[in-house]
Amino acid sequence: MAERPGRPDRDADRDRDAFAPADEIEPKGNQTAVIDSRAACTSVDAGAGTGKTTTMLVRIERAIERGDVDPDDVLVLTFANEAAASIRAAVADRLEPEAAAAIDVYTYHSFCYRLVSEYAYYLGYSPDFEVITERKRRRLVGRLLAETDYDFAAPARYDGSPADLTTAVDQFIAAMSRENVTPAALQAGLPPVRTLELCTEFVLWLEQRAAATLSFDNEALRYFNREEHIEQARESLVDYGKLVSYCREQIAEAPPAFRDDDLVRDVDRYLRTLQRCVTNTIETLSLEEPTTKHLPRALFGNQIRGTATSRLEQTPFGRLKHYIEFLRLARHYTAVYADYHDALDAEGALDFDELVRTATELLEDGSAERSSAHESNGPSARETIADEITDQWTQVYCDEFQDTDETQFSLLTELTDGPDRPDLLAIGDKDQAIYGWRGTDRKGLDRLADAAADHEGIELELNFRSRQEILDL
């Protein structure tokens, strides 16, 4: 099957260089704690150079040597093809050929492809089902846009060409799919059109006011070297704050149907935060700290140092604008998203995210279903399949866990959740989530603590790659 593009080759080279023969490895620092952990779920936050993959492999080797696990009871999952190949090579170097061959090493997508292929008839698919790659998904989106008269225009930030529109819709569908949001759930969560239009007006008012009075078009902020400049800058901020207050008053005085809408409540919370930011910025402006002149246009105008960036999303106003823009896109593109899913169903095909979700469904045997099966003195078909799959392994290891997205996280928790499911060791570096643009979550390791009843979190801090003077910086 086709795979998603993997991480750069430098990461695979790095991991291969890190693997040392077993008899040369002496665990140091918290590596011993990782190797010896007996928790049902162990999460390891391991920074660059701390030997995280080697530690995971030594744990597997020691568990086999102690007789805690048989090689064919071990499943290793990682993100990319290169990483999986490196792990297979390292396992082959450390273990006897028969034991090494018995250990299952997969990428997430190849693992899910195996499961869905094995149970294709149960799921209603052909065993030869097609996997829609990212390139094929984009072509399918382009075809839908060309063949269907959707009632929307391209957003202003695109030039309106078919290629740009296809890219915009494709990116939207990919983001929703990664976040495990179905077209039906998305449609149900959209606000009424008029509510969205009014909230968009609030954002436009604030954006235009900031551009006119809080940018460097305002000479007081551009030069910012006399007392009169700081007074004028503060007056501009006060005027901006009055506009924020006016927007909040409009919400407070609106009919309950508008005021109590979830979107409007969210917007009001952002506006309240903006009010605090205005007050704090007025108090912070100082001629003794000339760089404070950048605060108004950064916080309220989404600009830093001229054209260095025109889009900041981590300020209160930036997040508010991004939120409203997303809902406007969703209002436009949800119909295409639904048609895309219908097209996959009609062709009996799965894209990468649907592949993971479908495999996850095989592992689901919720407590209600378990209770029903118990009362009827027999397991359900789904529970039987779930047990059939999870009984194949007693230990699951996940490398580069920081690169998992929402769908992959659900897969892993279903695979290992419960006393009769395999134990899980997830190891990764929260500071190296290189696929953040693809929906990965650097907090995934932390979320395991909430998802697992028997959890142990361990941090690897000793760096074996960088010189101490670099680490001290």
Comparing CA positions, the residue from 95, 116, 120 lying closest to residue 357 is 116
Mean pLDDT of 341-350: 95
Q: What is the mean pLDDT of residues 435-451?
A: 60
Distance CA 117, CA 111 (A): 10
% of residues, the chain, pLDDT over 70: 81
* pLDDT computed for residue 326 by the predictor: 92
Are 247 and 198 a contacting pair, CB within 8 Å?
no
Alpha-carbon gap, residue 429 to 398, rounded angstroms: 12
Each residue of 381-395: pLDDT tens digit?
A: 778 899 999 999 999
The pLDDT-based confidence of 470 (bands split at 50, 70, 90) is very low
Q: Which of 78-82, 186-190, 306-310 has the lowest mean pLDDT?
A: 306-310
Smallest Cα–Cα separation from 53: which of 79, 390, 423?
A: 79
- % of the chain with per-residue pLDDT over 90: 58
430 burial type by CB count under 10 A (0-12 exposed, 13-18 middle, 19+ buried): middle
pLDDT of residue 259: 94
- Overall average pLDDT of the 284-290 stretch: 94
Question: Helix and strand tally (H, E) in the chain?
Answer: 23, 8
* Distance, CA of 337 to CA of 175 (rounded, Å): 11
- Per-residue pLDDT reduced to its tens digit, 128-182: 999 999 999 999 999 999 999 887 754 444 456 788 899 999 999 999 998 889 9
Question: When comparing pLDDT for 470 and 380, which is higher?
Answer: 380
The residue ranking higher by pLDDT, 124 or 7, is 124
Any idea which of 16-20, 270-274, 389-393 has the lowest mean pLDDT?
A: 16-20
Q: How many CB atoms lie within 10 A of CB 202?
A: 23
- The first and second tokens of residue 94, run together, are 């450390």
pLDDT of residue 443: 59
pLDDT at 367 over 50: no
Q: Is the Cβ–Cβ distance between 423 and 396 less than 8 Å?
A: yes
Question: Is this structure's pTM higher than 0.95?
Answer: no
Residue 24 predicted with pLDDT over 60: no
Choice among 20-24, 147-151, 404-408, 427-431 with the minimum mean pLDDT: 20-24
Q: What is the DSSP letter of 288?
A: T
Token pair 């309240």 is at which residue? 272
What pLDDT, on a 0 to 100 scale, did the predictor assign at position 60? 93
10 Å CB burial of residue 226 (0-12, 13-18, 19+) is: exposed
**pLDDT of 341 strictly over 50:** yes
Q: pLDDT-derived band of residue 54, with 50, 70 and 90 as boundaries? A: confident
Task: Of 50, 72, 48, 49, give the one whose Cα is nearest residue 60.
Answer: 72
Instruction: Out of 333-337, 388-392, 445-449, pick the least confident.
Output: 445-449
pLDDT at 462: 62
Q: Nearest Cα to 24, choosing from 90, 76, 106?
A: 90
Predicted local confidence at residue 159, as pLDDT: 54
The Cα 87–Cα 93 span in angstroms is 10
Q: Which two tokens stand for residue 11?
A: 């990461």
